Amino acid sequence: MSEGLRIGLAGLGTVGASLLQLIARHGGEFAERCGRPVTVTGITARDRGKQRPVDLSAMQWFDDPVALAQDPGNNLFVELIGGAGGVAETAVRAAIEAGKHVVTANKAMLADCGQELAELAEAKGVSLNFEAAVAGGIPIVKVLREAMAGNEVARVFGILNGTCNYILTRMEDEGLDFATCLAEAQRLGYAEADPTFDIEGHDTAHKLAILTAIAFGTRIDAKAIYVEGISSITPADLEAADELGYRIKLLGVASRTETGIEQRVHPAMIPKSSVIANVDGVTNAVALEADFAAQLVLSGPGAGGAATASAVMSDIADIARGSRVGTFGRPASALKPYKRAAMRAHAGGYYLRLTVYDRPGAFAAIATRMAKHGISLESIVQRRRNPHADAPEHLTPAAPQPVILITYETTEDAIRAALAEIIRDGHIAAQPQLIRIEPLG
């Protein structure tokens, strides 16, 4: 049996603790499968005194992650600290400079400087593996990087954030508002105390940027991604989507187009018949469309200690077996400059919810603005409020009324221009709700 892997583990949170449990439970079988035993020889974390579910007495404690990364007592550095920049990045660089393989789950770091780290790793002849950085336990990085090597990928899309998917599922199933569901997600540990990174789409964007680099062979450019979150979604939007045969999900979409690569993160209405539409709760799902493999869909736990530790261990297994591929499926130096497709050229159908003043000529003016920009309407639904139900007592027939418009395929540029004019005309009482309709299979 080959020389064992001696791991320096930085980070003993939920994932780090789960990784230690996994190694303790399956270390013997891992050695049989991969031909090398694996042990954790050194560890570091913010709180040395915290109670943990495994015995750490045989492992050397380091107060400094960089010192652990440089320590000759380990030959594989596993970074589970997280965060772009800071000590996580410094420690990863130190490990690579010391000629050590690195496994990380740090999507923010990869989205920020993954290209540079990959080039450094390849120059040093070591691996930089990151299966756990995208979609938790779903092996999407391995599928894209290895199994799809004989295909040209046309599109990658999916649900990449379990927090948002949980919130939208609860809102739809129970008719709850966004704030209530967010508070429940925080209580259950699905959302952070400051949930902005998740609910405003930035977490999904980082993951999408990594998948885009692998799928299309381009340099990572997370700043080029169009990003919208889910905080504006209301129960009325979810109810309308249901009646129209759709469900609303936060999607990350990367597509190859004639003008470049389109990357976008936003809520989308997708047909109930699609596989992605039926992914609920904290589950993630990723779909690939390619020329020879057609469409593949993978779903599973997108977060959590056990699932993420499983993904980390799959990267360790590749290193144990001596399996190496380019960090992003090809040499990092071969990645092409990212060419961004114009988001405003994106074409598709749209859902619009307008709060229209109930007065003569208001809707005619709105329809005129739509027609001016070549936008055809597939359906119009007016949801007149009932003043005898939950509406305020002062509500009169002249008060604003919700109107839902579904458009045929049009461009982002056209719909934005029409909405800008409608707002200036003064016939609507609130900011319009705009949700793209994605005809996913």
Non-local (6+) Cβ contacts of 186 within 8 A are: 192, 193, 195
Per the document, the length of the chain is: 441
Q: How far apart are CA 229 and CA 340, in angstroms?
A: 21
Active site residues: 207
What residues are paired with 348 via a beta bridge?
A: 410
Helix (H) or strand (E) holding 364: helix 362-372
Token pair belonging to 115 = 């290209």
Query: Look-up: residue for tokens 């035993």?
Result: 37
Q: Are 427 and 357 in contact (CB under 8 A)?
A: yes
Comparing CA positions, the residue from 280, 273, 236, 229 lying closest to residue 251 is 229
Our measurement of the distance from residue 132's CA atom to the centroid of its chain's CA atoms, rounded to an integer in Å, reads 12
Q: Please provide the DSSP assignment of 378-399 as one string.
A: EEEEE----TTTTS-TT--TTS
Structure tokens at 314: 């799959």
Strand, helix or coil at 263? Answer: strand
